[in-house]
Structure formats: C-alpha cells, structure tokens
Structure 1
Amino acid sequence: MKQGVGVGNNKMKIFLDTANIESIKKYNDMGLVDGITTNPTLLSKEKGNPAEIMRQVVKIVKGPVSLEVVGTTTAEMIEEAHRLKKYGQNVVVKIPMIPDGLKAVKKLKEEGIETNVTLIFSANQAILAAKAGAAYVSPFIGRLDDAGQEGMAIIREIVQIFKNYQFDTNVLVASVRHPLHVIEAGKIGAQVVTLPPDILGKMLAHPLTDKGLSAFLSDWEKVKRENPNLTI
C-alpha cells in the first residue's frame, strides 16, 4: 500500500516544479529530485514540442511525474488521463479541484491510475480530494499568502486531519515561494514539497559555505607552496 500521511511515511520528498530539461538533469544528477510537477503554463515557457518535453521528463526522472489535463469535463479528463499515462508508468495525472475533476479522480482510482488534485486552497477541498481517491493533494500556499492568508496554516490542518483518519493520500506542498516554506513544510510533516529550480538553488547556497571553501583552498595553496613535492 502506498504510504500516506496516516501510515508513517517518514521521508520528505522534493519534487521540481518545472518542465525545463536542463534544470531537471542538473538537480537529478545531484540525487535531489524525487519527482516532477508540470502544468500547461510551465510547458508553454519551454521551447520545443510539449509532447517531446513530457516524454523526456518521464524518462529522466524515475519518480512520479505529474502531467496535467486541460479538459474540464469528467469524460475529457479521463480520456486525457489515458493519453498522458502512455508517456510512462511513473506518470501521475494532475486533475483540477472541481466537481467533474473529483468524478474523474474516483474513476481513475478504480482503474489504477494515480492522480494529483491541484488548485487546492482549503482543508475542506483536500479532504474531499482524498475521499475521492487522490494519491496527492496540492495546496497552493504561495497564492494563499498573496491573498493575505497564511498558506502554511492549511498545511498544518491537512496533515493533522489526514493523520487522524489515516488517509492514504500524500500532502504535496505547492506554490512554494522561498526556502522557509520548505522548512516549515518539513516541520509540519508534509511528505512532499514541489518547488521551482531557483528555490532549490537557494536552498543549496550559503555565503558562509563559499567563504569557508575559499579559505580552505587558499590555505591549501600555501601548504603546497611550502611543500612542493607534497602528494596526497
């Protein structure tokens, strides 16, 4: 059984929220990418055929890759889900949080196709998506912050509710705007955060790391000058 919030999955996963092949390869080679989330907007920012981009992403990343439907009726979403699933077995179909979307989630769950319900802005919506059978729910915390609400507050609510009832659904923190969002999500216990490449880059960097490395290298050059035959 897939490990949901209520059944003790203790590994925090990082998904990259992008369709940029260069960024995906860069961070995947570091072992930092557990999965990918995409959407039509992200695909529109990249040059090339969107179908080919999705095909490449699914091959590069071994973990879950969320590909989003654009239909708004249940029938359209189910048909698109079947097409998207052909890109690879690791494809998770991204479905909007609308009534027809939940119908599609239920049907796809019955067919063994995992879904990621997106555009969630309340704990109520997350509960309904989980009950419909979503593998992931994606609360958009940055957009809630922009609207004057505390985005992380609903993450706390959802994680607690899913834990109380052992929902077999992963909380995927989306619309991450800065590294502190990642820290807060980890402290709360959300299983997944998805973030743009620039935020992951900020997580990697620290001025004291650069300063320390520069000092180490400078000192080592001094040692080599004083010991020209030194080998290690």
Structure 2
Amino acid sequence: MRFFIDTAKIEDIRTAADQGLIDGVTTNPTLLSREGGDWRDRAKEILEVVKGPVSLEVVAEDAAGMILQAHDLKKMGDNVVVKIPMTPEGLKAVKTLSSEGIDTNVTLIFSPLQALLAAKAGGTYVSPFIGRLDAIAENGMSLVEDIRTIFDNYGFTAKILVASVRHPMHVLEAALIGADVATVPFAVLQQFVHHPLTDKGLASFLGDWKKLTGGKW
C-alpha cells in the first residue's frame, strides 16, 4: 500500500518525506486555504519536495472549465494529478483528460456505483471518503470492500485511494481489503510509528545501557 499525506502544510510534508513515509500528496481548496498565502506558490513548493503524485483540485463546475483548469495545473509539474469532483460534468472532464493522458483523481465518492462510473470514465484514482460516511452512521469501510470487489470483477485499473481517514484503524482495514493508497493527515500518519510496548522496550534498553557504560558509546 502507498501512503499519501493529506495536507498543504509544507513543514509536515517535509517531515513525512524525510521519514520515508509518503509516496505522494493530496490537497484540496480547504487545505490550501488553511495555510494562506498564494496557493500557486505553495503548490509549486509541494511539487519540489515530493516527486510522487500530487493531487491539485479544480474548482470549475462545468466540464469545459475543469479541463481548462486541469491544463493550467499540469503546467506546474509532470507529477500533478488533477482532482475532479464526482459530478456529471466531472465525468465528462475525466473522460477527456484521460484521453489526453492526464492523470485524474475523482474525489467525493460515497457509493460503489459512483466509483464504477469514475473508473469507466478513465479516472486514474477514485477517492472514497470513508470518515465522512462513518460520521453519518454508515460503514465507510464497506464502501472500500465493494469498490475492490467491483474493480477486481471487471479488471478496472483505477486505483482505490482511501480518503477522509480519521485514525490508524481506517488504514489497517483498508490495507487488509487491498486498497491501493491511503491518504492520511500528518497526525494520523505519526500515530503509526508509536506503540506503548516499543516505547517501554526502548526505555528499558537505554536504561540498561546507561548502567553498563554510564551512557557513553
């Protein structure tokens, strides 16, 4: 499974990249607005730090506008993935962009049939938003299971990019199902590293080393 980091905060992206934990980045207008400043400058900085896929989102609501903005975004870097909303106009844009060889990430997917349509239109990634489903008492992980089954049944090559991740169990369950990518907030990503027994074991080893050598190497 590949990990993307879901943020526009350059400090967190650099830290995760230095740790070797991320393969790409996903952003959206909300994440960019939180950081302020010129969004284009921030996007370009992210593209310099991360060589893997970086999702940047269009904001037009019609297919022609989405395609125009997609072409503009692609000028920023070869690794730009254009994020397109799951709408009738979005599907038109995905079909055209796919025919042009432009990678897309179809976002705001909440049903298996939406994912099926996104894959048929030629989407490179489909992004089921599991946390938002859990928040309204629906089972987000069941959506991932259904999409995996449909894609395997019919040989779709679109990658399942699990989004709206709220905690490490979301990622573990998605990995067991066979999702291709999880895009994860920085705080959740850091939770993967820690376990109380790891911390306890390390403290014990270091304590014994201090007794043995006084803490010297």
TM-score normalised by length of structure 1: 0.91
Match of 2:211 in 1: 222
Match for residue 185 of structure 1?
Answer: 174
In 2, the alpha carbon distance for the partners of 1:136 and 1:190 equals 11
Q: Secondary structure at the match of 2:102?
A: coil
Distance 1:87 1:186 in 2: 31
Runs of 4+ in 1 over 3 A off after TM superposition: none
Deviation at 1:206, TM superposition (A): 1.4
Q: CA deviation at 1:168?
A: 1.2
User: What is the CA-CA distance between 1:161 and the residue it aligns to?
Assistant: 0.7
Report the count of equivalent residues.
217
| TM-aligned CA deviation for residue 47 of structure 1 | 3.4
Q: Which residue in 1 is equivalent to 2:35? A: 46
Alignment correspondent of 2:159: 170
2:111 paired residue number: 122
| Highest RCO, 1 vs 2 (Cα 8 Å, sep ≥ 6) | 1
Encode CA deviations 1:17-54: one digit per residue, 9 max, x unaligned: 00000000001011111110000000011132111110
What's 1:139 paired with?
128
What is the SS of the residue equivalent to 2:192?
helix
Query: Take 1:113 and 1:130, find their aligned partners in 2: how far apart are those partners?
Result: 14
Aligned twin of 1:208 = 197
Residue 156 of structure 1 pairs with residue 145 of structure 2: yes
Q: Distance in 1 between matches of 2:193 and 2:11?
A: 17
Alpha-carbon distance in structure 1 between the residues aligned to 2:43 and 2:35: 11
What is aligned with 1:18?
Answer: 7
Q: Provide the secondary structure at the position in 1 that maps to 2:35.
A: coil
Quick one: distance in 2 between partners of 1:114 and 1:148? 33
Percent of residue pairs bearing the same amino acid type: 59
CA RMSD across the alignment: 1.1
| 1:127-147 Cα distance to aligned partner (Å, 9 max, x none) | 000000000000000000011
Q: Distance in 1 between matches of 2:148 and 2:48?
A: 31
Aligned-residue offset at 1:91: 0.3
Counterpart code for 1:172? L
Q: Which amino acid aligns with 1:51?
A: R
- Whole-Å Cα distance in 2 between the matches of residues 224 and 148 of structure 1? 56
Q: Secondary structure at the match of 1:138?
A: strand
Work out the CA distance in 2 between the residues paired with 1:74 and 1:22. 34
Unaligned ranges ≥5, structure 2: none
Moved more, 66-75 or 208-217: 208-217
Pair member with larger Rg:
1
